[in-house]
Amino acid sequence: MDYVKVPMIIWEYTTPQVLTMEYVPGIKINKIQAIDQLGLDRQRLGRYAVESYLEQILSHGFFHADPHPGNIAVDDVNGGRLIFYDFGMMGSISPNIREGLLETFYGVYEKDPDKVLQAMIQMGVLVPTGDMTAVRRTALFFLNSFEERLAAQRKEKELATAELGFKKPLSKEEKIMKKKERLAAIGEDLLAIAADQPFRFPATFTFVVRAFSVLDGIGKGLDPRFDITEIAKPYALELLKFREAGVEEQGDLKLRVRALESERAFQRVATVQKTVGNAVAAGSLINLATILYINSIRVPAIVAYVFCAFFGLQVLIGLIKVKRFDERERLITGTA
């Protein structure tokens, strides 16, 4: 993603106790006036924030769990990009939950309550009870409500575009009354669900919901017309294309991880080989210098000793680098 910047880790100054990162200045994402002064598109920044989280959660299963405005900044690189800070609180989603979230996405898109419920069971969110009829009816009700909401939003946009404001918008009280009527329509089903208590939400969901709640607030601050569902829709369609084409994002991620692991291993082997070569050179030179010195050939002996010292220093540097490679690997794999 060229619109996301994560400060690089400076491994030379990083230990198991101290994390040293690149300094990347930026403007807090809620500093609207400063963002406008840079000439950045606020609507696009809001979309970037949501898309970056959809990518983190659904594609990688590893996400920044504390996205408040103090931890997200922007700059004018590439026409505006996000900068993430403070990675002390990260969330991870197990493969079965990530796959379940994707299946939920597909079920909502296809308006299939059975697929949504099956995905929730797969994630461990829903515990099957003896009679799932009430749960299924409730799921179908919310799917219909979601579709109606999207249709209403599309209609509002069309009316605004055509400047046909002949229909009086609902007041706050009318909206509350309409919501009560909808809930009354499934009141018995909700009571049945409350009695069975079939839902068990994993702790990770707290971080996911919190992250998107904060992002929704940030997005509305950037753009009053911000709608997280409209932004997520193209991403969901893209996921559907991948699914229909049989592309496994998880497999692609594994390949990228393996490539990074191979690259790290190659760098370590190259450093070890160079260090061994320097050690051989230093050993040969010290033998040569000693022979020359014993035979009173002083000047060449001194030159040989100087070169020996140089290669000896390279050996020391190489050993330090190998040690840092090992420490970095332990940090990455969590065996530190």
The alpha carbon of residue 318 and the mean position of all alpha carbons in its chain are separated, in whole angstroms, by 34
Query: 3-state DSSP: the chain helix, strand, coil percent, rounded to 5?
Result: 70, 5, 25
Pair of tokens at residue 81: 């990009």
Q: Of 215, 202, 205, which Cα lies nearest the Cα of 66?
A: 215
| Residue 17 confidence (pLDDT) | 86
| Residue 23 confidence (pLDDT) | 94
Instruction: State the helix-helix crossing angle for 228-245 and 95-109, rounded to 10 degrees.
Output: 100
- Report d(CA 294, CA 120) in Å as an integer: 82
Residues with catalytic roles: 66
- Report d(CA 50, CA 94) in Å as an integer: 21
Pair of tokens at residue 209: 């919901």
Per-residue pLDDT of the chain (336 residues; tens, 9 = 90+): 788 999 999 998 988 888 899 999 999 999 999 999 999 999 899 888 988 988 888 778 888 988 888 999 999 888 889 999 998 888 888 877 777 777 877 777 777 888 888 888 877 777 776 667 767 777 777 777 766 666 665 666 555 545 444 455 566 676 666 655 655 554 444 444 444 556 676 777 778 878 888 888 888 889 888 877 777 777 766 666 666 555 444 555 455 555 556 666 778 788 888 888 888 888 888 888 888 888 888 888 888 888 888 988 998 998 888 888 787 776 655 555
Strands 62-64 and 4-5: unpaired
| Residue 74 confidence (pLDDT) | 94
Residues 6+ apart with CB under 8 A from 27: 34, 35, 38, 73, 74, 75
Residues 6+ apart with CB under 8 A from 115: 103, 106, 107
What backbone phi and psi angles, to 5 degrees, belong to 332? -70, -40
CA distance to 61, 203, 227, 249, per residue, from 208 (Å): 11, 9, 17, 20
Q: Where are the beta strands (DSSP E) in the chain?
A: 4-5, 27-28, 62-64, 72-75, 81-84, 90-92
| Residue 31 confidence (pLDDT) | 92
The domain limits of the chain are 1-123+200-247, 128-198, 252-333
Cα of first residue to Cα of last residue in the chain, in angstroms, is: 30
| Residue 194 confidence (pLDDT) | 47
Q: Of 77, 92, 45, 73, which Cα lies nearest the Cα of 223?
A: 45
- Report d(CA 269, CA 119) in Å as an integer: 45
